[in-house]
């Protein structure tokens, strides 16, 4: 079936690294995404990785993809209080006609 799972909460101290994990079920997915949502706002695309890649780095963000275990992670280096938000993992099915989202991980950054 279609399912994307994430842990619900993560708390880190300012300046530490945050690692948010996600597992997905569709081995034929083409793109895997990380979106950020702040209170009352829409979704901001943070980064995405094509399914034939293992890693992608973009400034403070590092995405790791383990296709064998269907595991995706997002590492935020030097986490700041402004990074406090809900982070959604999502996968797009082959053919691109729909994207499945996880329930989101709420990141708390303590000063």
Partner 1 sequence: DAGVTQSPTHLIKTRGQHVTLRCSPISGHKSVSWYQQVLGQGPQFIFQYYEKEERGRGNFPDRFSARQFPNYSSELNVNALLLGDSALYLCASSADPDKAAFFGQGTRLTVV
Question: Which residues are at the interface with partner 1 (CB under 8 A)?
Answer: 4, 30-31, 33, 35, 41-45, 48, 88, 90, 92, 95-104
- Nearer to partner 1 among residue 1 and residue 82 (C-beta): 1
Query: Nearest approach, Cβ of 84 to partner 1 (angstroms)?
Result: 17
Token code pair at residue 12: 């880190």
Quick check: 36 and 86 in contact, CB under 8 A?
A: yes
Between 14 and 56, name the residue whose CB sits nearer to partner 1: 56
Instruction: Choose between 76 and 91: whose C-beta lies nearer to partner 1.
Output: 91
Burial 5-39 (b: 16+ CB within 10 A, else e): ebeeebebeeeeebebbbbbebeebeebbbbbeee
């Amino acid at each position: 079936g279609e399912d994307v799972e994430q842990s619900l909460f993560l708390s880190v101290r300012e300046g530490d690294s945050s690692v948010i994990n996600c597992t997905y079920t569709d081995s034929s997915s083409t793109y895997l995404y990380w979106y950020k949502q702040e209170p009352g706002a829409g979704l901001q695309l943070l980064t995405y990785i094509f399914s034939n890649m293992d890693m992608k780095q973009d400034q403070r963000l590092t995405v790791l993809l383990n296709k064998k275990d269907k595991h995706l992670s997002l590492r935020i280096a030097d986490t700041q209080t402004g990074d406090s938000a809900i982070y959604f993992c999502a996968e797009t099915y082959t053919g691109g006609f729909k994207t499945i989202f996880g329930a989101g991980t709420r990141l708390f950054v303590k000063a």
